[in-house]
Amino acid sequence: MKGENQIYTDFGKMYSDIDEAANNYYRIFLKEYLLNGRFPEIYTSEQTKNASCAKQLLTHMQLDCNPVRFFALLSTIGAALEMERPVPAFDFYTMFEGRSFIYSPYVNYYIDKKDILIATLEMFAQDEDVPQ
């Protein structure tokens, strides 16, 4: 993985690094999800460092979201859809941009469980609207 301030020029590598870090986050906090229905947003120095690979994508998407929160979102959606992994970062990006993700091996999860997908996204969107 690249350092926190390094810019990706190989976007395949960027998505791969995000997926690897999100998978680690998923594995570490899955028990918390099973207890509470949501992945926690744990901002330890290790989690923050691991999440830094997502900063460039979040900036490109113009999402005002902490990378650790992004991993919690990817993990919560993946678990809610019973994918046994977080949603791949590229799949999330294509959904966010309104592009086709028909080539994703997970397309059936998104189509068959679209109501769960929408409800999970709305849950995170509502959290963003709540003043801190």
- pLDDT at 5 exceeding the cut of 70: no
Give residue 47's domain range: 11-129
By the 8 A CB rule, do 61 and 8 touch?
Answer: no
State how far the Cα of 72 lies from the Cα of 39, in Å rounded to an integer.
5
| pLDDT tens digits along 67-83 | 889 999 999 999 999 99
* CA distances, 67 to each of 26, 105, 107, 110, 112 (Å): 14, 24, 24, 23, 28
Task: Give first-to-last CA distance, the chain, whole Å.
Answer: 32
State how far the Cα of 36 lies from the Cα of 63, in Å rounded to an integer.
25
| pLDDT tens digits along 97-127 | 887 666 788 888 888 999 999 998 888 887 7
By the 8 A CB rule, do 15 and 88 touch?
Answer: yes
50 falls in which pLDDT band (50, 70, 90)? confident
Q: What is the pTM of this model?
A: 0.83
In the chain, the number of structural domains is: 1
Does some domain include residue 6? Answer: no
Does some domain include residue 1? Answer: no
pLDDT of 132? 42
- pLDDT at 37 exceeding the cut of 90: no
